[in-house]
Amino acid sequence: MKNAALVLITVCFAGSCLVSAQVSIPAQGCWDSFPEKWIDGAGALRFYSQGSDVMMTVLEDPLVLLAVDDKDARIGTTKRTTLGQTLFVSKPEMRGIEEMIARLQMPWCLSAQTGELEGARSLHSTGNLDLTIRFSKGTAIGQIRPGQVCDALASLDPAFKGARTLWEFQSYRQLFSCRLPHFDSKAYSGR
C-alpha cells in the first residue's frame, strides 16, 4: 500500500482508498477491518452526507457524537456547533458505539492525526454516508454505501444507552428515509 495523504474527501473501493486533498494528514493506509485496538471511548464520531447522494430528504448538518466525562452535565444534550448537530455522550456510551461500529463490514482508512474534527463548512460529500472517528490514537474514516445506510445505522441502536441520545440518532436516520415505526418525532421537539 502506498503512503498517501488521507483527507476529508475519501473514496474507498475494496479496501483501497483514493484520496483528493484539501487538508492532508499522514496516512497509515486502508483496511477492510475496523481499528479495534484504538477503541477507547474518547474523542468524537461524525456521520456526514449531503443531499440526495445518500437518499437524504433534506440538506442537514453532520451528526457529531462527542465523548465527555461521565459526570459532565451536557451528557444527553445536543447543541448546534461549528461541527454540526453535536450530541454529548458519556465515554462508556461512546465506547459501546465504537464497538458496534467495529462490526460494520466496510473498509477503513486510518491516520495518525488526532485532535478536533474539522468544521462542517469544510466537508464535501462523497456520495456515501461518511463516518469519521477521532480516537486518542488517530483517525478512522469509513463510508456506508447508499443502499446500506438504513440497515447499518439501525444496527447501532442498541449502543445508544440514553433515551435522548437514541432519539437524536434515530431522528438523524429519518433524514435517509429509514423506517422507524416506533419513533416519536415530537418526544424532544424543542431540542
Is the Cα dihedral 6, 62, 145, 148 positive or negative? positive
Across 67-97, b (16+ Cβ under 10 Å) vs e yields bbeeeeeebbbbeeeebbbbbbbbbebbbbb
And the C-alpha cell for 117? 474534527
At position 13, the amino acid (one-letter code) is F
Q: Could you give the CA distance from residue 101 to residue 122 in angstroms, rounded to a whole number? A: 24
Domain boundaries, the chain: 33-174
Q: Mind listing the pLDDT tens digit for each residue in 25-55? A: 344 578 877 888 899 898 899 999 875 444 4
Strand-pair partners of 133? 45, 140
Q: Mind listing the pLDDT tens digit for each residue in 65-83? A: 999 999 999 999 999 999 9
